[in-house]
Structure 1
Amino acid sequence: MTSTGLPYAEVIGDPINHSKSPVIHNHWLRTLGIEAEYRKTHVTRDGLAAYFLSRRADDDWLGCNVTIPHKVAVMDYVEDPSNIRGQIGAMNTIACETGGPLIGTNTDAGGFLSPLERLKWKGKEAVLIGAGGAALAIGYALAAKGMKSLTVVARDRAKGQALLDHVGMEGRVIGFTDPLPATRLLINSSPLGMTGQPPLDLDLSPLAEDATVYDIVYAPLETGLLRAARARNLATIDGLAMLIGQAALAFEIFFDASPPRDDDDAELRTLLTQPLD
């Protein structure tokens, strides 16, 4: 993107074209009349060091959000005064003040919980698909809310067990072909089902009749998992809920302002369902 001389934040990842974070932040910036912008930038794993070096030299840079696959790797490039590494094990927000250090934090945990809190969900067990950076934040959030048992669905069972150990929760690790338990909450934190990724094919029949299926994938918004859940008349939460929730927390960090939100983010959701340029 051509420089405009405005203060800016951005989201980095590999891939990054699918990201709708700029739609959210730039909508809030326009609504509040803040002279700043939010971008998206493709950064590979091998390019992380050069990326942070170049941004530290840019006085207009306010920080970045971090998406797949960098949420763990970025911890090696920032300071961690809140012990995010120890508590969650992944970061999705890096803040920078002129002349100061890069500070890493995580807004995924709070963003993930916000729709469940609106539903007043108080279950004690769940199934979590995936064991990456987003899964670490979700596992931490569930443990903090009193979750007692977690079943992790992962190809790498050692990685899934490491997630359970890290968040200090009882549970077990199963494979993608193993039957699901009769849970009341199923969460997909993996990229499966995302545009350009393999589909997520699961047999949802073991789930409880009053189960909620929560897919953090938002491109496409109507994932195969959510379609299958709705076909069984299960409650669903789509990926925009977490995306908007974590973005609201990051917006305050970057731009020192509370984002304008209504009860259901109706206007913003309309913008987010439109095709990207």
Structure 2
Amino acid sequence: MAGDPPKTPILAGVAGHPVSHSLSPIIHTIWAKRVGIEGHYIPIDVPANYDDFVRAMDALRAVGFAGVNVTIPHKEHALRYAGEASETAKAAGAANMLTFSDDSAKAENSDITGFAEAVQEKTAEPGTSALVLGAGGAARGVVLALKDLGLTDIRITNRTLERAKELGAAFDLAVIDWEKRLETLENIDVLVNTTSLGMTGQPPLELDLSGLDPSALVADIVYAPLKTALLKDAEAKGHATVDGLAMLMHQAVPGFRMWFGGEAIVDDDLRSELVKELKRRGRA
């Protein structure tokens, strides 16, 4: 209508350190263009300490950001910063979303639903048993997602046994010694790698899948490279697989809907654009 003031673009972003590698700005930009929303989603590098995180979040709120996704190393900082937190964020002990209001911020964890929905794309019935490699913040979210999917026999293993024991105690999980991980593959329905092993620039994940039932699902939350050695081996043996890109796309949906107010569809076209970007960066 003539004379109406111009709409203020919606502002959101992703905070982490480092953060330049993030594909989240591409995901949100594609969705915004699809639904005709004027908005900007910006990567924000925040030094890896809580005080700097607080200053950055206060500044973003002050300039009118609707919210931010939060990635390593700030997920626990985000939960601490928030005045309110969802039950899933509390259970995970970490948040990957902050939604801002005038005087507060709400923390949520969409990593949990993101992983669950990525698994459900591959199978409606993932089974009852799982082995999770790793015991960091990502593993906590994966464990909660597996529980939401109905898996009841979840086992955890980690290179540092004490961390595995801490996670096992928190979620009532069986703890497996890292050196005995191969012996645990038999009768496992879902295998998930949440460690950095196999990621570009990191040591390989040494895991012989010959003892794993061919019907088992194999997931790796890494997306650089897109197909890790674990996923390549799994595919060669006929396993259904879930890569880190699937989880990344699905976990982005709640934030876009919350901050931009539009529909966010995870489809082949979105995935294709992200794969192109990974190839451009030499990380596919």
Residue 55 of structure 1: aligned partner: 60
Cα 1:45/1:180, change in 2 over 3 Å: farther
TM-score scaled to structure 1, two decimals? Answer: 0.89
1:11 Cα deviation after fit: 1.2
1:39 Cα deviation after fit: 1.6
Residue 132 of structure 1: aligned partner: 136
CA–CA separation in structure 2 for the residues paired with 1:195 and 1:16: 16
1:192 Cα deviation after fit: 2.5
Residue 272 of structure 1: aligned partner: 274
1:42 Cα deviation after fit: 1.8
Residue 100 of structure 1: aligned partner: 103
* 8 A Cα contact 1:90 1:106, kept in partner: yes
User: Considering only aligned residues, what root-mean-square deviation do their CA atoms show, in Å?
Assistant: 2.0
1:115 Cα deviation after fit: 2.7
CA–CA separation in structure 2 for the residues paired with 1:164 and 1:254: 35
1:127 Cα deviation after fit: 0.8
Partner amino acid, structure 2, of 1:13: G
Q: What is the SS of the residue equivalent to 1:274?
A: helix
Out of 45, 58, 80, which is 1:76 matched to? 80
* 8 A Cα contact 2:89 2:107, kept in partner: no
Q: Which is further off, 241-250 or 43-52? A: 43-52
Q: Higher helix fraction: Structure 1 or Structure 2?
A: 2
1:121 and 2:130 matched: no
Partner amino acid, structure 2, of 1:244: M
1:38 and 2:41 matched: yes
CA–CA separation in structure 2 for the residues paired with 1:83 and 1:147: 20
Cα 1:207/1:94, change in 2 over 3 Å: same
* 8 A Cα contact 1:90 1:134, kept in partner: no
Partner amino acid, structure 2, of 1:72: E
Q: What is the SS of the residue equivalent to 2:276?
A: coil
Cα 1:199/1:42, change in 2 over 3 Å: farther
Which protein is bigger by CA-based radius of gyration? 2
Q: Which is further off, 222-231 or 176-185? A: 176-185
Residue 246 of structure 2: aligned partner: 241
1:219 and 2:206 matched: no
Q: What is the SS of the residue equivalent to 1:100?
A: coil
* 8 A Cα contact 1:124 1:149, kept in partner: yes
1:177 Cα deviation after fit: 6.5
Deviation >4 Å, runs of 4+: none
Q: Which runs of 5+ in 1 are unaligned?
A: none
Partner amino acid, structure 1, of 2:19: I
The aligned length equals 267
CA–CA separation in structure 1 for the residues paired with 2:85 and 2:24: 26
1:79 Cα deviation after fit: 2.0
1:232 Cα deviation after fit: 1.9
CA–CA separation in structure 2 for the residues paired with 1:209 and 1:223: 18
TM-score scaled to structure 2, two decimals? Answer: 0.87
